[in-house]
Structure 1
Amino acid sequence: MEPLAHALIYGGETTLANALLAHYREIGVTNDEFLVYLQFKRLMDQGDQFPDAAVVAKALGETTNTVFQRLHEMLAKKLLTIESVTGADQKIHDRYNFDGLYDKLVVALKQPERTTVTTNNTEPAVNPRQKVFTTIEREFGRPLSQIEMQSISKWFDEDHYDPDVIELALREAVLRQVYNLTYMDRILLNWQKRNLTTAQQVEAERQRSIEQRLNSAPKPQRQTGQNARPKIPLFKIGEEEKK
């Protein structure tokens, strides 16, 4: 047998539920996201539970950043989670979990009447969560790691931070040239403790703080006696001062 034929036969197969192939669009999965999922599933079926996004990008002919973008979108839709598990070596390892995709599929299949998602030429509405991911990546000047993606998702799913508030925290971090999520998390936690849960409340508190500092600043006093500044003569240069 030819080596190539042998590799094709024994290289393994990736199985997929026909129901998912038929209805993935109905649960909000785009064609691009589905292709990314297939590539990750291929690698995971081969034993790699946390595949390198660069490997997937190469297989798809895309950039690694594009693959991360698709992962962001699937995290936002709760089709994907990133878990930390203890491996056989007793160390903590991360792994992808796409169970959410099948959970949504089951719900869709139970619906008495399913409607197919249609597309048109109009631009889709911007997902606020996805906008946060994209903005942070742009300001940080690099793709987010899987752990960072998970941390941002927790801000939405567990802490329930408003997207606009997260972007304000990002602005604070960038102004101080601190490009990490830990600093942003401290800002968000501080605002939460002060019950600042909306962008309007944060901005109002910032303005109040500025006014308070201005009002408490010492005002300059008029100098008298020997320390007083000399008066400036009110005549033009070249003219004699009138007696």
Structure 2
Amino acid sequence: MESLARALINEGQTTVANALLAHYREIGLTNDELLVYLQFKRFMDQGQQFPDATVIAQSMGTSANTVFQHLHEMLAKKLLTIESITGTDQKIHDRYNFDGLYDKLAVALTKAATATAAAPKVNARQKVFRAIQTEFGRDLSPIEMESISKWFDEDHYDPDVIELALREAVLRQVYNLTYMDRILLNWQKRNLKTAAQVEAERQRSIENRLNSAPKQKRQTTEQARPRIPLFKLGEGPRGNQSSSD
């Protein structure tokens, strides 16, 4: 065990980014090319900037020509470049540079992150399309679908707010996008951008109507109540005695 431990320590370790193992096919690497890269990285991590392809071929149990073929394919895909540098001995030396591989990996990761972020938006849009079609009881026309897409892409309405506008239209039995658009525009002018803000404003409106209802009822009752004259029956108002007096 001690000899094995010493061998492991002496051989060192090669660290590989998990992102590369997860996305190597997205950047154009085949299984064989990935293995070739790992073998080259093993030597390069030990300080050999231009490893011997023959030695790597022996480790892989293949021919040097096969290794060179894989390198040529990676060069064509711009995953690898071969550079000439001046060494400490002031001589020109070649070295392998796999920066292109990681540049493409960075692009792949950015696309993956963008797709992940966009997924909820796409799902929300599809949900709105389905909800409107269900409530309208028919398929949407291409023009209607374009109008709804503009609510997302140009007006940037919250999907929940669009669904609230749909609910308002359905409650009033107005099954068209024009009416929904007026509702959304009205809320936008009143700076109601979220479903919570719309619901809060609706609640305030209901409370205001309830609070004003008793006052209006009281005023109506007072108007309907007959006036009681401030003088005795058979007499005219004070200061307006009959001419017989």
Give the shorter-chain TM-score range.
Answer: 0.3 to 0.5
Normalised to the residue count of structure 2, the TM-score between the two structures is 0.45
Choose between structure 1 and 2: higher helix proportion: 2
Relative contact order (C-alpha < 8 Å, sep 6+): which is higher? 1
Normalised to the residue count of structure 1, the TM-score between the two structures is 0.46
